[in-house]
Structure 1
């Protein structure tokens, strides 16, 4: 599959980039995409939630009223979960939500996500560029030139570029990462994928194994 290479102003350079069929034109596996996205979101959870149970509540241990003759249910402790301020029954405890997923499934999921983006013509290839200094305004100008100023976009770099990364950091709808950091969730979550020309080789080498 061939895609026109654009410059920083959104105009065609006259060159074509070849997107490997082994990465951008496979038979998509929706279930693999689901599993990888599910694992990514689960791994983001801190799992630090905690509620005090009956044994952890501070309070008197004396019997709060006599056993019989009150006309109400018997009660032995102010820390009873039925009372206000009492402990919680089977409350949440700190735990890990991390999930494991086979490397081959993760690789298949990323290729499937990229294929779906390629089919919907949501992948843009742009020639490598850099800024003289980190400046959000410069990055916004690039977004406007590509027609992505009102869409969620993901920029994929070949190598880390501090100026481009810092220029995009204040924008909620855009994210910049390198080809080695590419994940299925990031691909699916973006409306358009902007791939630097120098990142194509890294993406294909990582996913063609």
Structure 2
């Protein structure tokens, strides 16, 4: 498989990137993708939820009325869970939602998603973008040139670019990541992905695992 590199005006250059089809899995990793996305989303949860139980409420422990002879049901103190404002039974407690997944499985999922994006022509490669100063208008012009303006888009850089980050941070439906920060959820969540030229070497490493 071969992809030609675009310049910032959206025109094809003479440079190209080749992907060896022999390194493709040629089989489905759907269940592994499910496990990795579930792990990622679970790790985003803070797990700080907490409700007060009966023993944690402040209030009197006096018995509301005598046990027998009133014609009503038996009652304990005012913190009883059956009363409004009483303690909650089996309420949520702080916990960690982290789950473990092997590094090899994570790498396989990332490789599988990138391969599927390549097969579906959802990946473009563009020359390295250099900004002297942050300029959102100029960056929107680049997106318009490659016909991805106002579309849900993930851009992956080979190295940190502060001016590019400042130029794009206010855009909706756009995410900028360093290649070392690339996660499977972002790869799957964005229908269109743009790799810069300096990130291709690292992407080849992902696919060669």
Gaps of 5+ in 1: none
Q: Which residue of 1 aligns with 2:140?
A: 140
Q: Which residue of 1 aligns with 2:90?
A: 90
Q: Which residue of 2 aligns with 1:179?
A: 179
- Cα distance, 1:137 vs. partner? 2.0
Counterpart secondary structure, 1:154? strand
Structure 1 runs, 4 residues or longer, greater than 4 Å off = none
- Distance in 1, Cα, partners of 2:157 & 2:151: 19
- Distance in 2, Cα, partners of 1:152 & 1:20: 28
- Cα distance, 1:206 vs. partner? 4.1
Q: Which residue of 1 aligns with 2:25?
A: 26
Equivalent pair of 2:111/2:206 in contact (CA under 8 Å):
no
Counterpart secondary structure, 2:160? coil
- Residues 31-87 of structure 1, C-alpha deviation per residue, up to 9 Å, x if partnerless? 111111111111111100000000011111101122122322111110001100000
**Are residue 118 (structure 1) and residue 121 (structure 2) matched?**
no
- Cα distance, 1:22 vs. partner? 6.2
Equivalent pair of 1:22/1:208 in contact (CA under 8 Å):
no
Counterpart secondary structure, 1:83? coil
Q: Which residue of 1 aligns with 2:59?
A: 59
TM-score, scaled to structure 1: 0.94
Q: For residues 197 and 34 of structure 1, do their structure 2 counterparts lie closer, same or farther at Cα, with a shift above 3 Å needed?
A: same
Q: For residues 136 and 76 of structure 1, do their structure 2 counterparts lie closer, same or farther at Cα, with a shift above 3 Å needed?
A: same
Counterpart secondary structure, 1:113? helix
- Distance in 2, Cα, partners of 1:100 & 1:127: 37
Equivalent pair of 2:159/2:199 in contact (CA under 8 Å):
yes
Counterpart secondary structure, 1:4? strand
Gaps of 5+ in 2: none
Q: How does 1:65-84 map to 2 (within 5 A)?
A: 65-84=65-84
- Distance in 2, Cα, partners of 1:183 & 1:91: 33
Q: Which residue of 2 aligns with 1:169?
A: 169
TM-score, scaled to structure 2: 0.94
- Residues 104-161 of structure 1, C-alpha deviation per residue, up to 9 Å, x if partnerless? 1000000111111111100001011111112222222222222222321111111111
The aligned length equals: 208
